[in-house]
Copies of this chain bind each other. A is one copy, B any other.
């Protein structure tokens, strides 16, 4: 059983139990709208990544603003999205093994489903599963546009695999998956622009090869919160798979814009609310949010609007704060907002979102408590 939620709607912020995963609903809604407008202005489709939020509630909010569906990384996430009312889902990842592929094919009987493939043998297995269920499964051939992770080489190798996919029963060749994960957190605007320009050349070469082979490439998917302006403007991609923009995190906030300053398009909308539980000496306090409430692999969390306090170390259930003396006095029981270093794996540690309206005002109040429905959905 999941733990009970740390808040109920209507509760004043001061009464929320900790550690709690807080959403600033005002900032979150502005983030949703800004990305929807950006995609519309660029004339590209938006298929936001549900691996960030793991919530059909949020996916439906994105779809209500024009998104064509959702993407996710796991079959179990796709099942939860479909059960929650999302009917067009891309598993933007390779899926191996009969047990998972049977579930994928079964789901394709309930919703429009696509998956990524970078291997002919795996494509045959997806086809066989589709056959067992009389299902049609969409396929994007994943190409490696610079990340050195999954994906076949762009150009002839990708065209050959696409031809194999197109011939396999039960599969619908939809196009290309061209996500440059390694470019998302390059700090300089120019670095990210140049990485996506190189990736775009690889996409165009492959799309041209597909056309020469008589294969229609309806979808070129990719992009993340760090690079989407480049993919959107390139003409090479037509579907954005951005995820983190809804929440932002401390790591994404370190990316620089065209002028060398911070990127201000999206606001921090996700926080972990923590309580001071120990304050043994003047320059040190300890909060109740450590490694099991925050993912720190992309950097430690940052204090939100609290001068003179820094989060300096995380143990399982302890967060050590350094106080430089310029801070307002802290007491045991005081609550602080932390901006997570990396939003996606932090969300996955929690069972509940606590949506707060008016965060930063005296009337801050819980408006929504949403389950992190696909928390732990790793299968």
Contact = CB atoms under 8 A, between A and B. Distances in A.
Contact of A280 (B1, B118, B181): B118
Interface stretch (A31-39, A56-64, A249-257, A311-319): A311-319
A276 B350 contact: no
A90 to B, nearest CB: 14
Interface in A44-98: 51, 73-74, 76, 93-97
A149 B286 contact: yes
A241 B138 CA distance: 53
Contacts of A288: 96, 378
A345 interface: yes
Contacts of A316: 51, 73, 344-345
Interface string A342-379: 10110011110000000000000000000000011111
B284 A291 contact: no
B332 A121 contact: yes
B379 A275 contact: no
A291 B286 contact: no
Interface in A129-150: 144, 148-150
A291 B17 contact: no
Contacts of A95: 277
Interface stretch (A227-235, A262-270, A293-301): A293-301
Nearest to A77: B317
Interface of A: 1-3, 6, 15, 17-19, 51, 73-74, 76, 93-97, 99-100, 118-119, 121-122, 144, 148-153, 181, 275-280, 284, 286, 288-289, 291-293, 295-297, 314-318, 320, 332-333, 342, 344-345, 348-351, 375-379
17 contacts: A3-B377, A3-B379, A6-B379, A18-B97, A18-B379, A73-B316, A94-B332, A148-B284, A149-B278, A150-B277, A150-B280, A150-B286, A150-B318, A151-B278, A152-B280, A296-B297, A316-B344
A94 B277 contact: yes
Majority SS of interface residues in chain A?
Answer: loop
Given A74-B317, A286-B149, A333-B96, A378 B293 contact: yes
Contacts of A149: 278, 284, 286, 315, 318, 320
Contacts of A94: 277-278, 286, 332
A284 B291 CA distance: 30
B144 A3 contact: no
Given A96-B288, A315-B181, A332-B96, A349 B348 contact: yes
Given A17-B99, A315-B181, A93 B277 contact: yes
A376 B351 contact: yes
A252 to B, nearest CB: 14
B150 A278 contact: yes
Given A291-B297, A345-B291, A275 B376 contact: no
